[in-house]
Structure formats: C-alpha cells, structure tokens
Amino acid sequence: MPLQTDFIVIGSGIAGLRASIELARTGAEVTVLTKSKASDSNTEWAQGGVAVVLSDDDNAELHEGDTLEAGAGLCDERAVETLVAEGTRYIKQLIEWGTEFDREGGNLVFTREAAHSRRRILHAHGDSTGKEIVRALIARARQESTINLLPFANTEGLIVRDGRCVGVRYADPILKAPREIFARAVILCTGGAGQLYLHSTNPPGATGDGIAMAYFAGAEIADMEFVQFHPTALNLENAPRFLLSEAMRGEGGILRNAQGYRFMGDYDDRLELAPRDIVSRSIVREMRKTGTRTVFLDMTDKDEAFLKRRFPQIAETCAHYGLDITKNLLPVSPASHYCMGGVRTDLWGRTTIPGLYAAGEVTCTGVHGANRLASNSLLEGLVFGARAGAAAAGEAREAAIPTSSSDDTPGNLNARISTAVRKRVKRGMWEWVGIMRDEGSLTRALSEFEQIEKARLSIGSRNFVTLALLVTRAALWRQESRGGHFRSDYPEPSEKWRVHSIQESGREISSDDRISFGEGG
C-alpha cells in the first residue's frame, strides 16, 4: 500500500515552511520532504536580510520601483506589487511568531543595500537573518500537529497521472529503498541551482533538482539564462566561497584592486552600490586589466565595535582564515548566488501542470525579472509560499488521492551526482556559461553537456546535466545582454528580446512576449 497524505511539500526553506503552515491551518495533513535536515536550506545561509516597507521614510511605490529597475524590463509588475504589498503583512506576522529582527532602543533597525533607494533591509543577529527566520518558522510549524517533517528523504521524481501531479518518488531514509507517496497536490520549494558553478555561495544541496523534476514532468521552465553572481565571495585558497554580505558595501565598504585603487568609479556612478550584475562584471574586468584573480573589500575605516556587532558571523569566519575584517583588506571575487529563472508559475504558485504548485527560488514568478534586487528573495519565499499553500488548499481539497502504486517506478533510485559529472559540469558552467558569455563559449558548453548527457547516468547526475543544458540553451538563444545575462558579442539590450525564454521537455526553446505570466500560469 503506498503512502498517502493530503499535501506534499518538497523543501523546508522559507517558502516550504510557510506553505506548510498555510496548508496545516486548514486541518490538512502535510508531509514535508527534505534532502537533508529540516533546517538545512538556502534560507538558513541567507545573511543579507529581508527587504520590506516598514520604515517611516519608505513606501510601496519606491520598493516596487527599485525592484522593477533592477529587473531590467522583465519583471511582472503585478507580481512585484503583490510581493511588496503583502510582504509587509507577512513580515509583521513573522515578528508575531517570534522572529527576532535586530533592534535599537526597541525599534527595528533598517539597513541599505545595493540598488535600494531607502534603508529597508531587516537583519537578525547581524548577519544570520535566514537562520533566525528558519528557526522561527520551524518552531511555528511544530505547533501544527498535522505537519510531518521527513528529513533525509531525497525526492527523485514527480508522479503525473492523466495530466495531473499526484505524488512523488523518494528514497526512504530508513529503508534505503525507493518509495512513493501520493497526495491531492504537490508544492515544490526546493531552492535554486547555484551548485552548477565551480564557485558558489550556495549550500551543497542547491543542485536544482526541483527544476529538473518539473521539467521532466512536463512543466514550463522560464528564463534560465538569468543567473546572479554575487560580487563579493571570500576568495582564499582552500577556503569555501563564503559570502561577504551585500550589507558590507551598504555600510560603506570599498572595493579596491590589487594596487589599492578604488576602481568602481571607472565603471558606474553608483560605485559599490550599483546592481550586483554590474559590480560583478566590473570586478571581472578589473581583474583582467590588472592580471590578478582577486580584488579586495575594504572595511578598515569603520568602527571596530560596530563591524563586529553588525557582522559577527562574517567576522568569525574571516578570523578562522586569519583575516580581521576591521584591519585587513578582504580578498573577494564573484561567485554564483541566485537563479532568477525556474519553474514558471502564476501569482498563486500554480505551474503549468495541474496539481503541481511551486514557490521560492525554484520558480520564475516574474518578481525578479532579469536581475534580482538584493534581499527580495526571502520576501518572495515568504509571500509566495503562503500564496501557493492557500491556492493548493482551496483548489485541491476535493482532489482524489491515488491508492495504487504507479507502473513505472524505477527499481533502483540513486540521487547522488557522480564526482566526475559534478566536476565536468561545474567547471564547464564557470568557464563557458559564467559572468561573461559569447556564442563560441556557449556552443562549446552545449557540446560538452550533450556529450555527458549521452552516458548512463544516475538520477541525480541526469538532473544536474539537464539544469546545465537548460541554462546554456537559454543563454545561447538570447542574443542580447540584460540583467544577469551578459553576452560580450551582444553587449546591449534589445527591445525585441524583451521576452521570456520558455523551455518544455520535447520542444524547442520558445519566447513569450507577455511580461505578465497571468493568473492561469
């Protein structure tokens, strides 16, 4: 007899937990599958904070305007309006649920980050915002008796019957064997695919499996060419590419080249507070100009007590590698950070497959367009996680749950990505599909990944290569530069390319000139 539940949520970051709570509030039984422990997600790694309109000198129009400008013409305005308008309510709700954002004298402290026109970023414990939000949401989820958290359960595929998603296949963490679980609906909240690249700020589990599973199930995938590279990841040999938060530049951090020259003025009038894609490309150009592999973030003119209070985790990590953030120039260079593209959804998390919903970085809602505004990702997960949960609860309440196993269950599920495949893909993505691209490099990458795809692969390796192909094909298709996608052979944006790239299994890549994805997905 296969397992049954009312709803399945895959992932336990901010989107997954918020969707689960929304479902459970209706009395539904919710099973949450996670690749690792429940608290291990991209959300837990988030340092930069969460953007929200709560300060006296801010308003919704300003936040929306900043988001639209960063998105370089590809944002869905209705999605941005929804994010900003509902974000304030859901952040207040998080505070009611016990989330401890930083305060001074009892008042919330707001900071500023790149491309924001106001100080509207909330932080928790300095630079541990995501960790604090996950703590509060897990505590809230545990108050709901109908939420069942199932950690270390690798989801291998979606089960679709008669055109509707009715369940998932996963590797049972206890039996070490393949199992199936059926439900009225499934919500994907699996995060992004930052680990596709050799250098990444993302946790090891950010391998894009949710996007690949949705693609193989027949869902539309949108805008995969738009990948955000964070400008300032710690660049030390034998050290992880630890993120040095955007907030460090927001608090006055200066970028210098190997000769100590402050170079951002040569590239953009906004200096270090230019959008992330501009800062990342400026760093790459400066490294090429000076023949070096790093630049430096300078915080040395800031008060020592302030820095250690404001960035305790960063200070501690840097100290572990012999760096004092108050006295030393910090070696940095860009690393992959966020995927703007993903499973195409409408404003309620509906995908193009009935019964399948999605929220968070796994999706393309239209909020981020071609380039995500700093600190909008946690807010997106919170708002659209709640909306996806509400939509699924309302629309799938009476949907039948299958009672028999599917006929095509594979006999041996293997979620692991082979070391050889991982290395080839990550290096190829970094060298040929990275911060600066052109037709030659992209064509070479496509040939390499198609060759790997022909081999006998585990499910995990197949997913990984498929994600690389989705990004590469979209990047080769888009003959312009826009937001997080930069083609040195097409360095300017073009109005005719103000369209979304759409990929669907078994079909050639296509475009959609509707900037709004619409209510129907």
Please classify residue 520 by burial: count the beta carbons closer than 10 Å to its beta carbon, then call 0-12 exposed, 13-18 middle and 19+ buried: exposed
Rounded CA gap, 241 and 233, in Å? 5
Q: Which of 503, 506, 502, 37 is nearest to 514 (CA)?
A: 502
Domain assignment present for residue 274? The answer is: yes
Q: Which two tokens stand for residue 77?
A: 């305005």
Please tell me which residue in 276, 281, 310, 344 is annotated as part of the active site. 276
What's the pTM value of the predicted model, to 2 decimals?
0.93
Q: Is 456 a catalytic residue?
A: no
Tell me which residue range forms the domain holding 288. Answer: 231-336
pLDDT at 414: 63
pLDDT at 411: 47
Rounded CA gap, 386 and 14, in Å? 10
pLDDT at 516: 56
Domain assignment present for residue 328? The answer is: yes
pLDDT at 374: 85
pLDDT at 387: 98
Specify the CATH number for the domain of residue 252: 3.90.700.10
pLDDT at 406: 66
Helix axes 419-432, 439-453, angle to 10 degrees: 170
Strands 147-150 and 30-33, bridge-based pairing: parallel
pLDDT at 44: 47
pLDDT at 415: 65
Helix or strand run (H / E) with residue 21: helix 14-24
Q: Which of 486, 449, 439, 448 is nearest to 469 (CA)?
A: 449
Helix or strand run (H / E) with residue 503: strand 500-503
Domain count, the chain: 1
Domain assignment present for residue 261? The answer is: yes
Domain assignment present for residue 247? The answer is: yes
Domain assignment present for residue 279? The answer is: yes
Q: Which of 373, 338, 341 is nearest to 358 (CA)?
A: 341
Domain assignment present for residue 305? The answer is: yes
Helix, strand, coil abundance in the chain, percent, nearest 5 = 35, 20, 45
Low-confidence spans in the chain with pLDDT less than 50: 44, 46, 411, 520-521
Domain assignment present for residue 211? The answer is: no
Domain assignment present for residue 257? The answer is: yes
DSSP symbols for 179-234: EEEE-SEEEE-----GGGSSSBSS-TT-S-HHHHHHHHHT--EE-TT-EEEEEEEE
